[in-house]
Amino acid sequence: VWAAADGEVIFVGDELSGYGNMVIVKHSGGRNTTYAHLSQSTVDKYDRVKQGDIIGYVGTTGSVKKPQLYFAVHEGKNAVDPQKY
């Protein structure tokens, strides 16, 4: 799994029920990207990442049975269509 854009890692963990291993990256312009169900992450909280950096690997953690990636983009608290980016 690659970082969608440059930013700072603001969350790494598995505390949110159903999502398994998750990474959240804060980007400029008030955007965040979320990556969940990772088998493992390769970053730590407060790491700076560049677009294309490997931040983790697709997995089956959380409430999924087959390997998959949950990916979301938020502007502030609002979810936005990731295909815009």
pLDDT one-digit tens code per residue, 43-69: 999 999 999 999 999 999 999 999 999
Strand 7-13 with 21-26, pairing: antiparallel
**Is residue 9 within 8 Å of 45, Cβ to Cβ?**
yes
The region of weakest confidence among 16-20, 49-53, 56-60, 81-85 is 81-85
Q: What is the pTM of this model?
A: 0.95
Phi, psi (degrees; rounded to nearest 5) at 62 = 80, -140
